[in-house]
Amino acid sequence: MTHAACPSVSAKQRGARRYTPVALGRRASFWVSAAVVAHTLWTSAAPAMTYRLYASEWHLTPTTTAEIFAIYPIVVVSVLIAFGGLSDQIGRRATMLLGLGASFLGALTLALAHDVSWLFAARAFMGVGVGLTAGPSTAAMVEFNGDGAPRRASVVATAAQAAGFAAALIVGGALTQYAPWPLHLVFWLLALLIAALFAVAWSLPRPGERSTTGLFTPRLPSVPPDARTAFMVAAFAMTTAYTHGVMILSLGGQIAHDLVRSPNTLVNGSILAVFAIASGIVSVLARSLPTRRAMIAGAAASCAGMGLLAAASAIHGMTLFLFATAITGAGYSLLFLSALEVINRATPVERRGGTLSALYLLGYLAVGILAPVLGRVATVHGLGFAVYVGAGVIAALSCATLGLALGARRTTDD
């Protein structure tokens, strides 16, 4: 009788309410997006501590190891070229979910890998995942952050990358050294974490999200004309920052092993994690540093760190190597933070996803070129010479970034 007296609430309306998706609030969405940012570096660094084991068990040369590393940024670049503006068309949430699904397949493939072909396939899946999530997750952090503290999103994004990087090296080193199934367990854990993140990200808000059933036209990530000068400066900073990953992730395990003379992957992973820890600490300490000063300091630190890394490799100096990784971690953090700041200020919200994807594209392209080159150099001329070449290239990029930051006052000033 009561229902008859309230005919305004129909069964259809009750059903609609029942199936209305529940969206996370702005604050929760900000932190979920930050977790997606962290996943990009964890995914990137996940096999870093197992490369030496793969090489030992499957008799891989440094060239093959570098090629396994390089397939990842090459696929990231390909995805960014074809789908860099996807999140501006179908929404941040939908694009991040697609990327997390691909990352999950990559982690699962690594967990099941039994020969080198599986490694190439897994890293390709991971490249798709990071290519789809890197730009949208960073853009989502800016948009969910609101207008209260514009730099907060850039600072947290930098810290999130550092956290993902450190977790991959320390957790990966511990599980590889002390847990059973050293070539598999770490990737089962990563797959589980990505699956949990996918489940949470499903509840992100859907502003601007449209149905994906229609025809999607791939298009290159583009930069608004008014933002091109700012983009050039940010691109040099981002490229310089990302090339550090070649030295730390592709060659770092072998460098640490040769310097420390330790077969313990937890020890070696923890040493390399100094890079990520320094990066995270500096990103927090530098939250009030003007953008231009941050870029100048980052370029200078990067250049100095590469000099110390080359010296440490030459004299097998462990203390010098730790200083080098800490200083380069600080340089990476300041360069990445300032690059995001420049782009976020110069780009309108409706073009931000594509512009950030273009920025990541150049960073990963540099990694995809440098990694196999250094791997080949290491195979032919030895690891030490490869370190000198890599350090020289990154120092040159640092100097170019420093010159642009000093000359582009209007673009980089707060």
Residue 123 has pLDDT above 70, yes or no: yes
Domain 23-202+220-412 has CATH 3.30.70.2740: no
Tens of pLDDT, residues 251-287: 776 777 776 666 777 887 888 889 989 998 998 888 8
Give me the residue spans of the domains in the chain.
Answer: 23-202+220-412
Q: Quick one: average pLDDT of 21-43?
A: 89
Tokens 């996807």 correspond to 86
Tokens 């640092």 correspond to 398
Q: Quick one: average pLDDT of 37-64?
A: 84
Tens of pLDDT, residues 301-338: 999 999 999 998 888 888 888 899 999 999 999 999 99
DSSP state of 115: S
pLDDT band at residue 38, thresholds of 50, 70 and 90?
Answer: very high
Share of the chain above pLDDT 90, in %: 35
Tens of pLDDT, residues 282-291: 988 888 889 8
What is the full DSSP assignment across 303-318? HHHHHHHHHHHHHT-H
pLDDT band at residue 149, thresholds of 50, 70 and 90?
Answer: low
Which pLDDT score, from 0 to 100, does residue 234 have?
93
Residue 148 has pLDDT above 70, yes or no: no
Q: Do residues 96 and 204 make contact, with C-beta atoms less than 8 angstroms apart?
A: yes
Which pLDDT score, from 0 to 100, does residue 14 have?
47
Q: Quick one: average pLDDT of 395-409?
A: 89
Between CA 408 and CA 138 the distance in angstroms is 24
CA distances from 211 to 17, 101, 334, 350 (A): 20, 18, 38, 18
Residue 81 has pLDDT above 50, yes or no: yes
Helix (H) or strand (E) holding 252: helix 252-260
